[in-house]
Chains A and B, each alone.
Chain A
Amino acid sequence: MTHRTPPASPSNHRPVKMARMSDGMDLTDATTGMEAIPSYRPDAKARRYDRQLRLWASAGQRSLEAARVLLIGCDATGCQALKNLVLPGIAHFTILSPRSVEAQDVATNFFLHPDTIGRNIAEEAVKLLKELNPAVEGSAVVKDPAQLLQSDPDFFSAYTLIIASNVEPQLEMDLAEILWKASEKVGGPDVPLICIRNSGFIGRIEVQLREHCVSDTHPEQTHTLRVDQPFPELEKAARSLDFDSMDSMEHSHIPWVVILARAVSIWREQHGGQLPNSDDDAERAAFKDMIKSWRHKADEENFDEALRSSYQGFTKSELFEDEAVVTVSENSKNLHILLHALKQYTSQAPHLPPISPTLPDMHSSTTSYVALQNLYRAQFNSDFARFKQIVAETLGRIGLPADAIPADEIESFARNSGGVQVIKGRALKESKEMRGLVAEVYTNVDEQFVDEEKPIHLGLHLALLAAERFHLVTGRWPGSPEADDLAEENRQVEEMALSLLQSVVPGAEGGPETSEAIAEVVRGGFSTLPTTAAFLGGIVAQEAIKLVTNQYMPLDNTVIIDLVKSSMEKYKF
């Protein structure tokens, strides 16, 4: 039933666009342009940021505009990352570097002018980066990071986020350790650290953070539909339908949420109020079989959807416990206060977060979709009113004004409360040891690698780790221009990789993937290709924005990128 016959496309002869008011116009017309901006129109800032506001909303933008970012390692990749943070409008960035611009820097870094060779690199890069957005502050600190780490460790914890781009392995480890320690005590600064390592076409990003709250993960399923504990109106609606007497059209358009809610309701009735146990294969199968038995035909898509989502019927909505959430004060982050309120909210029946006010798209007739939508909307309104009340009480209790958290932030939190997630990170040192994961992966090669790309990425990681060890020993990178004997260096790195691997998996062999990976990494000589820099700079800034805005799931904690194959793999080491 498609109907789509656009007649001869009118856009071919679209009228010429007329000059706008602020453009060069006659004097008479131009007078309108001189009036003050009317109150309903966005100001210049909102217009500059319009396209991103539609992605992370004003709450995200506010966080961004409060962020202070430090870059250590003023190379092409680091500067590209900063560019991507200055454009959307962070508050401030600092580049920390004592060294001078060299010819190689100018060759790869867009933010260094060719005439600047010999001058301080941080100062020169700050100059050009600042031009990208007049609202952003930038400063250069001409000091040695290693010394500063000794003399003034607090310097580092004053930032919202730190990017270390291709810094020496020793410095990277020391910095990571200091930050990790600082975040140990409750309420201590928990500054995320993003480390970049890059050799030719190969790149790796590691993220160290102790704890990170995502207030909105924006998952595919954004919706807390509470199918596992249907609210009374939903349950009633789901139970009142007579599936058998429906005609096939009607039957194939029952929304899956209704099918699932009905299955849950019936199951609980038959099992003393219990949900199917998610660890019990037999129960899970029985639950699905019940849904399958209601089908009229094998190809009803709504039933497929219900079966695909059946895990929602046996996964209980979970909330988390965390010190920063349990005890809030006037110094708490908004998000922690909201989570604290949410915790209180769920301590009352039905012990669940506010329901989602919107439904995902699903296979159904418009009538039943709209009816279902109305049920959810009404429920959200009543949930939200209660939640707002609790937030207000909480704010009052800790001595903050009622508007300390903007209304839209509360609402968007409530709307997405199902998308709230907390990530517990790992110390960089620990993840570089990657014991658990490597052991598992290397011993179960056959089962694990259905997908042939994985071992290459792991090999690359191993190669980079071995090269870092090489640097610790020799003070320079393998394959760098000073190398006399590339084959010999390659061999040394192979040896280090093997001993690394065997320290985790005794007796393991590297395999051809690892040798190939090492050759590629050494060939790259730890130099930066402009495209790799642009690419990594994009990924790093993307992660930084996720961390700063508390939106979207960050890549926790290691990402390995192979631009020879245009592929990328994430591991939690």
Chain B
Amino acid sequence: MPRESHTQALLGPEVFKKVRETPILVVGAGGIGCELLKNLVLVGFANIEIIDLDTIDLSNLNRQFLFRKPDIKKSKSLVASASARHFNPDSGIKIHARHGNVKDSANDVEWIKGFGLVMNALDNREARSHVNRLCQAGGVPLIESGTAGYLGQVTPFVKDKTECFDCEPKPVAQKTYPVCTLRATPSEPIHCIVWAKSYLFGKLFGEDDEAGDEQELNQAKGEAENADEIDNLKKEAAAFREVRANIGDDDGPRKMFDKVFKDDINRLLAMDDLWNKEGRVKPTALDYEGIMSGSFPTPPLRAAPAAAASAPSANGSAATEPKSNGAAPAANVNSAQLRDQRELSLKENVELLIDSSRRLSARTISHPDTILSFDKDDEDTLDFVLATSNLRSAAYGIPQKTRFQVKEMAGNIIPAIATTNAIVAGFIVMSAIRLLSGQDEGMRKVYLKTEPVRPIAGYGPNTPNKFCGVCRDVYIPFKADVARVTVGTFVEDVVKGWLEEGLEGKGQVEWTVNEGSRMLADPDMEDLYEKTLEVMDVGRGKMITVSGEIKLGGEEEYKPLRPVHFCVCNPSPNAEAPYELPSTTPSIPLAPVKKVDKAPKADFEMLDNSAAATDGGKAAGKKRAAEDEPEGDAKRRKVQVLADDDDDDFEILDPKK
């Protein structure tokens, strides 16, 4: 008995035929992906490809119901499709599961054009943008979705009819911390956590980037509030190199402890003018022997975190006590039930530091080619960050955090539950059915909120943003044998010979050719003309972006045209010519003129969206951070930290509605 018979009657034969026949791509087999795959199979979608690069983790099992405990560490997409097939073995449904990255070059425009509909069930913005661009380039409708705790959202994007994922700039749900606060004058737990995971961990186990350090510190020198302070940090960096080299020795972790928690702190203490600012609290150097023997008194907690006031964007309250999006109250210290919600003693932290350093250095020794990076689900790295951040907090009189809390603050953890995913996946399939039946209602966005009166609301669709640099651009499939096409051929034949022919108003045109941020050619640069695209690493899956400026007859100025992206694909099987172009040239409109208020400042800054994770993108505290930074602080040197993506579900895309 085929499972879909009921549905057939309700959808009607025409729509049901489309459901059976349309090839569907599902990107992501996590929280939403599992629910989605089940729904698709039950409704009768019979031609499904699902791709995911992730493997199954224990923390997935509270909602990703196609997985069982024995599946842990196995590929999500493969297990999900096997489970879904098991439930519906004889229905003629084809599920093509792929364990891989949607951003691989093989997943190019030609590939995406093979689908009638794409559904994103992703966990990170970058991959979302990538699929969005592919879908725009290939003209394939995309249904985007996301959940965070009780919040959820489904947004269909249809080329030229609705906005695209990148039409509206996404709120930057990230927090910024001045580098000196992190490295010398922390006042909140989050400062110590970010320091431990982004700075200390990298220095000891991450990529050894000596040149980068130097450059960064020299650059910072001119801008710092205190030149001595920078010199100091520079010395610290050099000392790290030595500690790092010897960390595998028996006394390596101990030496590291002394350097980081004793010598470095003593050095900072010697700098009087660092501490005579209002609200600054001097740290206490930690003493290894004393801690181990129990004779070292735990430094007292700073009286009140008033010191935070001097750090311009120390939104500690928001970071440590996430409340919005229905996040649970910060875990309490004395929970008898959960051992990771217990505070460790100073001695336990030191032991954990030594032990986790040993484990990590053993890993770097046995696998020297693999660079370690912080991962909240990697127990060794989390242990290290837990121990070092708490020890640093202790030295600075900052309250301790439990493992449960550190994991959340450091790991960008987004709460995720089965119910929200089920609701969202139900909506996705409804949208899909309606899009396939050609109903405009399929383009409405749906939001799921915690509002008690109307928890679900549909809106839109919004029209494309004319300034959008993704959906308003022109895309051309470029089937090419990249070994036989040179940059020169591309510019002269493809761009000037073919593309330019299609321009409506005649005039003088100047073209700039880029791949990503790399320039390949412009009117003054022909150096790379002899190189083939292959040599330039412009292969399958890449896009060559051609930006033109036109001076129409009788006009004084050049005006920019919309960029044209040539999407490099494999040549047709029996193609003789080195490349193939569409039979007609596209029309390239002028780019709309946008008033620019002020050029963005080219500052670096410490970005960390760990707090944003529990905010559900609401970015509590952002308001203050943005507005009360005095002029001087804005110039201060800042460093970027990339936060990890969570392993399945994703922050809410745009909860403002």
Chain A residues within 8 Å of B, Cβ to Cβ: 1-11, 14-18, 20-21, 23, 26, 28-29, 32, 38-44, 46-58, 60, 62, 80, 83-84, 87-89, 103-104, 106-108, 110, 113-114, 117, 131-134, 200-201, 216, 218, 220, 222, 253, 358-367, 369-371, 373-374, 403, 406-408, 411-412, 415-416, 523-525, 527-532, 534-539, 541-542, 545, 552-555, 561, 563-570
Give the residues from 606 to 627 in chain B that come closer than 8 angstroms, CB to CB, to chain A.
607, 614, 620-621, 623-624, 626-627
CB-nearest residue of chain B to A408? B332
B residues near A201, Cβ cutoff 8 Å: 10, 430
Whether the Cβ atoms of A42 and B453 lie closer than 8 Å is no
Given contact pairs A5-B600, A366-B308, A568-B455, A55 touches B328 in the complex (Cβ within 8 A) = yes
Least distance between B596 CB and chain A CB atoms (Å): 13
Whether the Cβ atoms of A552 and B450 lie closer than 8 Å is yes
A41 CA / B441 CA spacing, docked (Å): 49
- Pick 29 A–B contacts, CB within 8 A, sort by A: A3-B600, A4-B600, A15-B373, A29-B362, A29-B366, A38-B352, A40-B340, A40-B352, A46-B339, A48-B59, A52-B62, A53-B338, A53-B404, A57-B331, A83-B422, A110-B38, A218-B450, A365-B624, A406-B336, A412-B329, A529-B6, A530-B39, A531-B39, A534-B423, A535-B423, A538-B420, A542-B423, A552-B150, A570-B454
A370 CA / B305 CA spacing, docked (Å): 8
CB-nearest residue of chain B to A363? B623
A536 CA / B425 CA spacing, docked (Å): 11
Whether the Cβ atoms of B642 and A11 lie closer than 8 Å is yes
Whether the Cβ atoms of B126 and A11 lie closer than 8 Å is yes
Whether the Cβ atoms of A106 and B1 lie closer than 8 Å is yes
B residues near A538, Cβ cutoff 8 Å: 418-424, 426
A156 CA / B149 CA spacing, docked (Å): 32
A406 CA / B614 CA spacing, docked (Å): 25
Whether the Cβ atoms of B3 and A114 lie closer than 8 Å is yes
Least distance between B615 CB and chain A CB atoms (Å): 10
A residues near B117, Cβ cutoff 8 Å: none
Given contact pairs A3-B605, A566-B458, A534 touches B628 in the complex (Cβ within 8 A) = no
Given contact pairs A114-B90, A200-B10, A20 touches B378 in the complex (Cβ within 8 A) = yes
B residues near A570, Cβ cutoff 8 Å: 452-455
B375 at the interface (CB under 8 A from A): yes
Whether the Cβ atoms of A527 and B6 lie closer than 8 Å is yes
Of the candidates B10, B425, B431, the one whose C-beta lies within 8 Å of that of A529 is B10
Q: Mark B56-75, 1 if CB is under 8 A from A, else 0.
A: 00110111010011000100
A residues near B87, Cβ cutoff 8 Å: 110, 113
B416 at the interface (CB under 8 A from A): yes
Given contact pairs A51-B415, A374-B305, A535 touches B427 in the complex (Cβ within 8 A) = yes
Least distance between B433 CB and chain A CB atoms (Å): 8
Chain B residues within 8 Å of A, Cβ to Cβ: 1-7, 9-10, 35, 38-39, 42-43, 58-59, 61-63, 65, 68-69, 73, 87-90, 126, 149-150, 172, 176, 206-207, 304-306, 308-309, 311-315, 317-318, 321, 323-324, 326-329, 331-332, 334-342, 344, 348, 352, 359, 362-363, 366-367, 370-373, 375, 377-380, 383, 386, 403-404, 407-408, 413-427, 429-431, 433, 441, 444, 446, 450, 452-458, 517, 600-605, 607, 614, 620-621, 623-624, 626-629, 634, 638, 640, 642
Whether the Cβ atoms of A2 and B601 lie closer than 8 Å is yes
B residues near A527, Cβ cutoff 8 Å: 6, 9-10
Whether the Cβ atoms of A531 and B328 lie closer than 8 Å is no
Whether the Cβ atoms of A8 and B517 lie closer than 8 Å is yes
B residues near A87, Cβ cutoff 8 Å: 61-63, 65, 418
Least distance between A233 CB and chain B CB atoms (Å): 13
Whether the Cβ atoms of A84 and B418 lie closer than 8 Å is yes
B residues near A359, Cβ cutoff 8 Å: 317
A residues near B377, Cβ cutoff 8 Å: 20
A20 CA / B207 CA spacing, docked (Å): 19
A residues near B416, Cβ cutoff 8 Å: 51-52
Least distance between A155 CB and chain B CB atoms (Å): 27
Whether the Cβ atoms of A529 and B334 lie closer than 8 Å is no
Given contact pairs A23-B73, A51-B59, A538-B419, A3 touches B306 in the complex (Cβ within 8 A) = no
Least distance between A166 CB and chain B CB atoms (Å): 13
Least distance between B23 CB and chain A CB atoms (Å): 19
Given contact pairs A2-B600, A40-B339, A108 touches B6 in the complex (Cβ within 8 A) = yes
A201 CA / B63 CA spacing, docked (Å): 25
Whether the Cβ atoms of A42 and B340 lie closer than 8 Å is yes
B residues near A6, Cβ cutoff 8 Å: 607, 640, 642
Whether the Cβ atoms of A565 and B441 lie closer than 8 Å is yes
A17 CA / B446 CA spacing, docked (Å): 36
A40 CA / B383 CA spacing, docked (Å): 9
B residues near A133, Cβ cutoff 8 Å: 61
CB-nearest residue of chain B to A451? B454
B residues near A43, Cβ cutoff 8 Å: 339
Given contact pairs A48-B62, A534-B39, A570-B455, A29 touches B403 in the complex (Cβ within 8 A) = no
Whether the Cβ atoms of B426 and A534 lie closer than 8 Å is yes
Given contact pairs A41-B403, A58-B335, A370-B306, A114 touches B1 in the complex (Cβ within 8 A) = yes
Of the candidates A8, A84, A566, the one whose C-beta lies within 8 Å of that of B430 is A566
A7 CA / B458 CA spacing, docked (Å): 37
B residues near A369, Cβ cutoff 8 Å: 317, 624
Least distance between A205 CB and chain B CB atoms (Å): 11
Whether the Cβ atoms of A567 and B457 lie closer than 8 Å is yes
CB-nearest residue of chain A to B372? A18
A568 CA / B389 CA spacing, docked (Å): 46
B residues near A3, Cβ cutoff 8 Å: 176, 600-601, 603-605, 634, 638
CB-nearest residue of chain B to A540? B419
CB-nearest residue of chain A to B68? A131
Whether the Cβ atoms of A365 and B628 lie closer than 8 Å is yes
B residues near A88, Cβ cutoff 8 Å: 62-63, 417-418
Of the candidates A10, A23, A415, the one whose C-beta lies within 8 Å of that of B642 is A10
CB-nearest residue of chain A to B308? A370
CB-nearest residue of chain A to B206? A15
Knowing that A366-B313, A374-B305, A566-B441 touch, tell me 16 more A-B residue pairs with CB under 8 angstroms.
Answer: A15-B206, A18-B363, A21-B379, A29-B366, A47-B58, A51-B414, A53-B338, A54-B614, A84-B419, A107-B7, A114-B88, A218-B326, A406-B337, A408-B331, A412-B329, A568-B455
A29 CA / B455 CA spacing, docked (Å): 50
Least distance between B422 CB and chain A CB atoms (Å): 3
Whether the Cβ atoms of B150 and A361 lie closer than 8 Å is no
Whether the Cβ atoms of A534 and B425 lie closer than 8 Å is yes
